[in-house]
Amino acid sequence: MNRLVEEWIYKAKGDYHSAFREYRERNNPNYDSAGFHAQQCAEKYSKAILQVHDERFSRIHDLLALPDSCIIYEPELED
């Protein structure tokens, strides 16, 4: 795995943990923040998949377009 893929995965894991922490907060949850970090997590994992396959991608944040690009390489994502 190359350095860029590792960076995308590292950042995606950080977003996952932030989203989960906010979602599980009992006293003062920030669901907007949880949603934001969940979106960022999905985006970064999608970009990691594309990076693994040396697929170029633009600086987009569209969670409809990114997974569509990933399905070519990871067909199970369609489910």
Q: How far apart are CA 15 and CA 47, in angstroms?
A: 14
Q: What is the pTM of this model?
A: 0.85
Q: For 30-50, what is each residue's pLDDT tens digit?
A: 999 999 999 999 999 999 999
Q: Are 42 and 69 in contact (CB under 8 A)?
A: no
pLDDT computed for residue 4 by the predictor? 92
- The predicted structure's pLDDT at residue 58: 76
Contacts of 29 (CB under 8 A, 6+ apart): 22, 23
5 SS3 class: helix
